[in-house]
Amino acid sequence: MKPSLVLISLAAAMPVFANSLEDAKSIEHNTNVSSAVSQKKVDKSAQASIELRAEVEHLKEETKNLEVYRDHLKGLVSSQHDEMNSLNDQIAEIKTTRQGIVPLMYDMLDGLDALIKQDKPVRLETRQQRLAKLKALMPRADVSDAEKFRRILEAYQIEMDYGTKLGTYQGRIALSQDQQVEADVLYLGLVSLVARNLSQTRYWSWNAKQNQWQELDSGEKESIDRAFKLANQEIAPSFLTLPVSLTKAEAK
């Protein structure tokens, strides 16, 4: 009777063992699936960390470049303020007579003429027209010397603004003596001067060393278009990457 009882007992226990085995396999399968999912999350986090570090390094480089531009602009603004203060000192010292003020105004117009000719062609036609009107104003007897002097100072202030602001305008640029194109022009103080044709298929940067417009490749298109949107207040302020239009002397 005992062998029969053992066999009966084993037969009764088999379903329990089978269920336990199935449960163990199920647990093992779920564990493997969870491990695979966890590994994917770890791999994804590691890749995100690598990309984030690369982005941080890129932003550090852009910040460094912007700091250089900022320091350069500060120097320009300081120099322009010193020049303006010097003019103000001269105005305070000279006699308020026609013999004293008139020669000074002609000297200032000559200085303005030289500045426009030597400077980057930012709003060149507008600046030349403004200078021509001032020269035509000088011999007029129906305009007081005080008003003439005020307008000359106003022109100097406008020239100072060109050196410190981000702006855009539409005008003709001379690619050569025989070729001019209508273009959208963007300037960032005295640091950068770029242009694009109205169909946005060609882009140029002002080469201060060669004193001429230089065509850019398509790789610059996105950053320049972004700069135009920022200048026109179509996007929020952000970092800009633009070609530099400085001579060696200006860059120091």
Per-residue pLDDT in tens (0 to 9) along the chain, 252 residues: 445 544 455 455 555 555 666 766 777 777 777 777 777 777 777 788 888 888 788 778 877 887 887 888 788 788 888 888 888 777 666 655 667 788 999 999 999 999 999 888 999 999 999 999 999 999 999 999 889 999 999 999 999 988 888 899 999 999 888 899 999 999 988 789 999 999 999 999 999 888 899 999 888 899 999 999 998 888 888 887 888 876 655 555
Distances in Å between the Cα of 196 and the Cα atoms of 21, 45, 171, 187 are 74, 41, 11, 12
What are 138-194's pLDDT values in tens digits?
999 999 988 999 999 999 999 998 888 889 999 999 988 889 999 999 998 878 999
Residues paired with 167 in a beta bridge = 187
β-strand 180-188 against 212-215: which pairing, if any?
A: unpaired
Residues in the chain: 252
What pLDDT is recorded for position 240? 78
For residue 199, report the phi and psi dihedrals to the nearest 5 degrees.
-85, 0
Residue 120 makes CB contacts below 8 A (sequence gap 6+) with: 187, 190, 193, 206, 208, 245
Residue 57 makes CB contacts below 8 A (sequence gap 6+) with: none
Instruction: Look at residues 213, 209, 201, 217 and name the one whose alpha carbon lies nearest to residue 122.
Output: 213
C-alpha span between 7 and 1 (Å, rounded): 10
C-alpha span between 27 and 191 (Å, rounded): 67
Pull the structure tokens for residue 138: 């000088």
What pLDDT is recorded for position 2? 46
Residue type, 100: G
Instruction: Look at residues 118, 145, 144, 115 and name the one whose alpha carbon lies nearest to residue 130.
Output: 115
C-alpha span between 174 and 116 (Å, rounded): 16
What pLDDT is recorded for position 100? 75
Alpha-helical (H) ranges within the chain are 2-93, 98-118, 124-137, 145-162, 221-231, 248-251
Tell me if residue 164 falls in helix, strand or coil.
coil
pTM above 0.85, yes or no: no
What pLDDT is recorded for position 13? 52
Inter-residue contact 158 to 144 (CB < 8 Å)? no
Domains of the chain by residue range: 76-162, 166-251
